[in-house]
Amino acid sequence: MLKHAREVGGPALRKLTFHERARMLKALGQAIMARKEELYELNYLTGATRKDGWIDIEGGAGTLFSFSSKGRRELPDAHVLMDGALEPLSKEGTFVGQHIYTPLQGAALHINAFNFPVWGMLEKLAPTLLAGMPAIVKPASATSYLTEAAFRIMIESGVLPTGAVQLIVGGVGDLFDHLGGQDVVSFTGSASTALKLRTHPVVMRESVRFIAEQDSLNASVLGPDAAPGTPEFDLFVREVATEMTVKAGQKCTAIRRAMAPADYLDAVQEALAERLAGTKVGDPRADDTGMGALVSLSQRDDVRQKIAELEAAGAKIVSGDPSADSPIAGGAFLSPVLLRADDPWKSSAVHDVEPFGPVSTIMPYKNMDDAIALANRGMGSLALSLFTHSADAARDFIGGAAAYHGRMLVIDRTNSKESTGHGSPLPVLVHGGPAARAAAKKWAASAA
C-alpha cells in the first residue's frame, strides 16, 4: 500500500496544482452530499441520532468544501507555495533566498478514532490531498462500516487519481515497519495507543512525522461575573448539557470539567440536573430522542469503569445513574451522569481520567488564578470555553490559560446566537492542542 501511494498516487497528485486539487475536494464533498442518506442509514447503527450524524456526515462534507474554497482563495494556482517574502542576501540583489513548500513524497497514514467515522476521515483527507499527498486511511474497527461507505462514494465519484486514497479495515499488520522519513502518521484516539505508536522503533529511527490528537480533559468555565440569573449563566448550563449529550458525549472536545465560582456551584448543579433530566435517552431513529446509545457495549463498560474511578477519587454523582436499565434491552445506552468534586485539587482523577461518554464533573474555583490553574491542570486540551460578559475577565483568563489550550471560545449574551458552540471544530481554525500529557504519563506509569 505504501509503495502504491508513493509510486502511483503521489506523482499523480503532484502533477495537479493547488486549485485543481481544491476543485477535487469540492467534487468529493458534492458526491458525499448527493448520497448522504445512505450514510445516515448506517449512522444509526453507531448509536448516533440524525442530529449527531449531521455533524459527522454533512460536517465532514462541509470540511471538504471549506478546504476547497480556502485552497482556491488563499493558495496559488501552482505547484509550489511561497513561504514569506524574498530574503535579500547580497548588496546587488543578484543573490537572494526564498523559502518554499513542496509536497512530501511519501504517504500520509491516517489512523482515526471511532467517534466520527466520516468527519474524522475527511478532516484529515482535505488538507492532505490539497497538499498533494496520497493517504492511507485506517478507521477504528468499531465504526469502520460507515467510513467504508463514505470512502466507496468517493472512489465511485471517479474524482481521485489512482492511488490517491486507500483504506484499511482491520489491523495494520506490519505497515509501521515500512514507514520512512517522507511519510506522515496522523493519529486520533487514546493517549495509550498514541504513545505506543509514536515510540515505534521505525517511527523513531526514520524520524517519521507523527501527529496525535488524543484524550483531552476539556474545561468550560463560568466567569466570576456570571451569577445565576445572568444570560451567561444560562448559556453555560445549556452548553455543558449539550456537550454531555451530543454524540452521547463521545466527542474529543466534550466538556469533561465544568468550573464555576464556589458561590454559584449549587445553582449550576441544580440547573444542570434539571436540564439533563429532560434528555430522553433511547432509539437514535426516534424523533423525540435527545441522546442515542454509545458506540458499543464495551465502550459503555469503559465509561462506567471511568465513572467508578472518578467516584473512588472523591467525586460524587449528583445526577444520573450509570447502572440504570437500558431503555432498549441489550443496547449500549447510558443516562447522562453529572459528578461533583468539591475539592478539585485533592482529586487528580477529575483532571486525568476521560470517561468518553455522557459524563462531566462540576467543580468550584476560588478566584481567577485558581480557575486558570484548574483549567491548565488538564495538561493541555483541545477546547475550552469561558462564559463571561467581562472583557477584563476574558483577557486575564486567556492570558493565563492560552498556552495550554488549542481553541478558546469566549461566549456572552452578544455572540451566543451566532456561536457554533464549545465543541465544534471549525475547518478554518486550528483543531488540536498541546497533547494531554497527563494521560500519557499516567498510562506510561501503569505500563511500567
For the bound state, the minimum distance from the C-beta of residue 2 to ligand NAP, rounded and expressed in Å, comes to 14
Smaller CB distance to ligand NAP: residue 121 or 237?
121
Select which of 58, 243, 252, 354 is catalytic: 252
Smaller CB distance to ligand NAP: residue 115 or 360?
115
Task: Please list the residues that pair with 83 across neighbouring strands.
Answer: 99
Using CB under 6 A, which of 68, 214, 289, 319 touches ligand NAP? 214
Stretch 125-164 residues interacting with ligand NAP (CB under 6 A): 138-142
For the bound state, the minimum distance from the C-beta of residue 249 to ligand NAP, rounded and expressed in Å, comes to 10
Q: Does 381 bind ligand NAP (CB under 6 A)?
A: no
Q: Would you say 57 and 36 are in contact if contact means Cβ atoms under 8 Å apart?
A: yes
Q: Does 213 bind ligand NAP (CB under 6 A)?
A: yes
Using CB under 6 A, which of 216, 347, 360, 385 touches ligand NAP? 216
The single-letter code of the amino acid at 230 is: T
Q: Does 183 bind ligand NAP (CB under 6 A)?
A: no
252 labelled catalytic: yes
* 3-state secondary structure (DSSP) of residue 209: strand
Element (H, E) at 261: strand 257-261
| C-alpha cell read off for 253 | 472536545
Smaller CB distance to ligand NAP: residue 63 or 269?
63
Stretch 335-354 residues interacting with ligand NAP (CB under 6 A): 354
Q: DSSP letter string over 220-248?
A: EEE-TT--TTSHHHHHHHHHHHHHHHGGG
156 labelled catalytic: no
Distance, in Å, from the CA atom of 371 to the CA atom of 273, rounded to the nearest integer, reads 23
Q: Does 424 bind ligand NAP (CB under 6 A)?
A: no
Q: List the helix and strand counts (H, then E) for the chain.
A: 16, 14
Select which of 123, 213, 239, 243 is catalytic: 213
Distance, in Å, from the CA atom of 360 to the CA atom of 445, rounded to the nearest integer, reads 25
Q: Would you say 114 and 143 are in contact if contact means Cβ atoms under 8 Å apart?
A: yes
168: nearest Cα among 141, 129, 202: 141
For the bound state, the minimum distance from the C-beta of residue 384 to ligand NAP, rounded and expressed in Å, comes to 14
User: Any residues with CB less than 8 A from the CB of 48 and at least 6 apart, and which?
Assistant: 56, 247, 248, 284, 292
Distance, in Å, from the CA atom of 240 to the CA atom of 260, rounded to the nearest integer, reads 12
Q: Does 333 bind ligand NAP (CB under 6 A)?
A: no
Q: Does 190 bind ligand NAP (CB under 6 A)?
A: yes
Q: Does 172 bind ligand NAP (CB under 6 A)?
A: yes
Smaller CB distance to ligand NAP: residue 123 or 232?
123
Q: Does 232 bind ligand NAP (CB under 6 A)?
A: no
244: nearest Cα among 232, 230, 258, 233: 258
Count of residues in contact with ligand NAP, rule CB under 6 A: 23
For the bound state, the minimum distance from the C-beta of residue 66 to ligand NAP, rounded and expressed in Å, comes to 19
Applying CB under 6 A, the span of 88-96, 190-198, 263-271, 341-349 interacting with ligand NAP comes to 190-198
Q: Does 113 bind ligand NAP (CB under 6 A)?
A: yes
Task: Please list the residues that pair with 409 across neighbouring strands.
Answer: 385
According to DSSP, residue 92 is labeled: S
113: nearest Cα among 46, 178, 159, 59: 46
Catalytic residues, by residue number, are 213, 252
Q: What residues line the site for ligand NAP (CB under 6 A)?
A: 111-115, 138-142, 172, 188-190, 193, 197, 213-216, 252, 354, 356
